[in-house]
Structure 1
Amino acid sequence: MIHTTRRRLMAGAITAMAAVSLGLPAIAQETKESVKAAFVYVGPVGDFGWTFAHDQGRKYLEEQLGDKVETTFVENVAEGPDAERVIRQLAQDGNDIVFTTSFGFMNPTIKVAKQFPDVKFEHATGYQTGSDNMGLYNSRFYQGRAVLGTIAGMMSETGKAGYVASFPIPEVVMGINAFTLAARKVNPEFTTQVVWVNSWYDPAKEADATKALLSQGADVITQHTDSPAPLQAAEQAGAIAFGQAWDMASFAPNAHMTAIVDLWGPYYVQRVQALLDGTWEADNVWLGMAEGEVVMAPFNDKMPEDVKAAAQKIVDDTKAGTYEVFTGPINDDAGEEKVPAGQVVPDEDLLKMDWYVEGVQS
């Protein structure tokens, strides 16, 4: 079940989310008495990370709209041809809207959306859409990565973090960069060693990558993979670490300093309600801390008070719009200036980021 505090956070985020939607012109639609909504997941609902967070959002949708919505989901869907088959089947099964929740589902969603113009489709973390019945939604996870980097920079004794990464796509690259930039604000010599596991969810690979990073001198572990395995390996080694997409403290009560928590529920309620009201539009939104979609799990009591204060300041300033981690000067990993002093990297460049900041070792 979703923690009560997070339920309140979800409910409070709906209005703010609506304010930042940049929609295309609305299509004339009829109101509905009920909606069938389907979700396509890249991992298992029990990963306690990315897919778990989306499924908590699905459950929140059911709680909020009751008998006005009927939901189904398919888990462990491989990115590629299998995704296209699953998405098409869900459209054929009479679903009114299909949420496809992984970057690699983008092209299959575009293809199926064109074939089913009367069904609505929404794709998470993508950048392309091919028809007016397909929308995009994303979360500014990198804002939370800056909080993690600040903590890492202050607490690391070796000045070296290990980063267990999934795939080198912009979403992951910008997270690595945000983490490293924030850590180097605290310790200019801080480095981040990246290991790519080429999977979103593979506990064995994630654990092995973590152990390798720890053996190379890292005393902080962070991840953009979805199992608790890196945290558990860090716990065994006496290192500190951070959860992914949800509060994973129960798996590593000593190592887990905090986590980025993805609150998708209010967005799902907003979009299904729009279908009920006949006002759904093919939006393209990117939401973050200010809208309540990105929040931080409780800080571990083992964190020193000055570290907690510094981390909370990043959160508060990000919400207020007075802090942006991607503000120049920023050098790339070759030491060349990439972003001039005072310039903020625009969204369109963040969404196609394919370079690393100084301090990243990949």
Structure 2
Amino acid sequence: MTGVRHWIQYLFLVCLGSLVVACSGIVGNSAPSIVETPTEQFQVAILLPGPKQDQGWSQMGYTSGQLIQKKLSASVQYSDNVKKAEQEQQFRNYAKAGVDFIVGFGGEFIKAATTVAKEFPRIRFAVVGSEDSNNRNLGTITVNSDESGYLAGAIAAIKTKTNKVALVGGEIYPHTERQSKQFVRGAQSIHPEIITKTEWVHSWDDVEKGKAVGAALIREGFDVIAVNADLAGVPIHTLAQKAGVKTIGWAVDQNNLAPDTVLSSMVEDFSVAVLKAATLAQTGRWEGKQYKFGLQEGVNAIAPFHQLLSETEIAQIETIKKNNHDRQDRLVTIANVTIANTVWQILPTLHIMAVFIPKIPSNINLAKRNPERGLEKRSIRKSSFPLHPFSQITWD
């Protein structure tokens, strides 16, 4: 009977531990993080899907490496134009060479990274633009695509004269699909009856296919086209310029591609996000989970308007940005309240368990993050688990 009691005590404490993890907002499972203190120069490798000077996605990956080299005094290597058939071997080569942190710059690298990460559990891997981490040594770095999609839709709707706006995407991933849906919502927030369309190139580097998609949209009368297709989308800006159509760039400020045409760009500064991730890896705090950044973290931004929008239009967009920021804060608050309510619903059950487990310590400390006072301990007495959310709870 004593053995059974000890086993029940163990299960009870495990439940409490899980509850603390859930309340702290940690993403991923309870697998331990890789913790190592670097004794030599930190080594990083970045795999790019396209040329490092493509004026788009791959160039941002290259810029990320330069920032890491500057800020962390790291040794950074690059492989650009990496084809899918080469991905696993590239990851494997860097891992065998003992590179500390290996980054696949694009969601297309996730399958290869997942395979190789299993082979090298002590090497830290990251994939930018994916959401499929393993919560051990393979983490993912994403941005809030909803924000950029919504803002692009709003800008397009503000500038359209034909009431027809479009988004050209590269490949279809969960986050690019969400981005497309938010583009529609953003446009409809300005003109509820606006006509919207999303076309996929199904490639990030097929320039001819991208050109064909853009030409078709121009023929159909879409006069503002947002382009998130990396190298494949570059010729669309030139086509638009010739046709008198406006565009919105992506990833970096692409106004230089067609100065009188590119109204602005949805900057997703992954260099900042990747730097944050590399810092975690260098200091032994890499958890192999999903890391997500947006406007609040300075990763998402709207590029300058280059005098292509009026002051009134710019003010309208700034209001939309602020409202979106406030909405995100409300969503976080709602989520926290939901978690708190769930905790208080579980506590009576834990109280009943405590009654029948006399050897549990008289005080159980649950860590709770207080936004004003940092991480503090909340003390809950076994003999008086509260049946009401705020009864008999004190801050130590």
Q: Same fold (TM over 0.5)?
A: yes
Equivalence map 1:155-304=2 (5 Å): 155-227=159-231, 228-304=234-310
- C-alpha deviation, 1:131, in angstroms: 6.0
Distance 2:134 2:76 in 1: 25
Deviates more, 1:314-323 or 1:164-173: 314-323
Q: Which amino acid aligns with 2:42?
A: V
SS in 1 for 2:251: coil
2:34 pairs with 1:27:
yes
What does residue 76 of structure 1 align with? Answer: 81
Distance 1:264 1:270 in 2: 10
Match of 1:48 among 55, 60, 64: 55
Could you tell me which amino acid in structure 2 is paired with residue 292 of structure 1?
Answer: G
Q: Distance in 1 between matches of 2:289 and 2:242?
A: 44
Q: Aligned equivalents of 1:176 and 1:43: distance in 2?
A: 23
Q: Identity, % of aligned pairs?
A: 24
Shift of 1:321: 4.1
For 1:164-201, what per-residue CA distance to the aligned partner results, in whole angstroms no more than 9, with x for missing partners?
22222212211111111111111112122233221112
Residue 66 (structure 2) aligned to one of 38, 59, 64: 59
**Which amino acid letter does the alignment assign opposite residue 309 of structure 1?**
A
Decide which moves more: 243-252 or 184-193.
184-193
Distance in 2 (alpha carbons) for counterparts of 1:54 and 1:175: 21
Change (3 A) 1:167 1:265: closer
Residue segments in structure 2 that go unaligned for 5+ positions in a row: 1-23, 336-396
Whether the 8 Å contact between 1:314 and 1:323 is mirrored in structure 2 is no
Which residue in the other structure is 2:115 paired with? 111
Higher helix share: 2
Mind listing any 5+ residue stretches in structure 1 that lack a counterpart?
1-18, 326-341, 344-362
Match of 2:130 among 115, 126, 137: 126
Partner Cα separation in structure 2 for residue 31 and residue 182 of structure 1: 45
Q: Report deviation, 1:285.
A: 1.3
How many angstroms apart in 2 are the aligned matches of 1:273 and 1:130?
19
Q: Cα RMSD over matched residues?
A: 2.4
Aligned equivalents of 1:230, 1:32: Cα separation in 2 = 48
Change (3 A) 1:276 1:169: closer
1:351 alignment counterpart: none
Which of 306, 310, 313 matches 1:307?
313
Once the two structures are superposed, residues 277-305 of structure 1 have per-residue CA deviations (whole angstroms, 9 ceiling, x without a partner) of 33332231111111111111012312122
CA distance, structure 2, for counterparts of residue 20 and residue 49 of structure 1:
33
Structure 1 residues 32 and 56 mapped into 2: Cα distance closer, same or farther (>3 Å)?
same
Distance in 2 of aligned mates of 1:231 and 1:323: 35
The 1:166–1:265 alpha-carbon spacing in structure 2 relative to 1, beyond 3 Å, is: closer
Shift of 1:73: 1.1
State whether residues 126 and 136 of structure 1, in contact with CA within 8 Å, keep that contact through their aligned partners in structure 2: yes
- Between the two structures, name the one with larger relative contact order (CA 8 Å, sep ≥ 6): 1
Cα distance in 1 for partners of 2:169, 2:270 equals: 22
Per-residue CA distance 1:95-145 (angstroms, 9 max, x = gap): 111011211211110110000112110112223234611111111132122
Rounded Cα–Cα distance in structure 2 between residues aligned with 1:21 and 1:201: 36
Residue of structure 1 equivalent to 2:14: none
Matched residue type, 2:54: D
| Aligned-pair CA distance for 1:324 | 8.9
Residue 244 of structure 1: SS of its match in structure 2? strand
CA contact (8 A) 1:124 1:137 kept: yes
Matched, 1:90 2:97: no
Task: Provide the C-alpha distance between the structure 1 equivalents of 2:212 and 2:251, rounded to a whole number of angstroms.
Answer: 21
Structure exhibiting the larger radius of gyration computed from Cα positions: 2
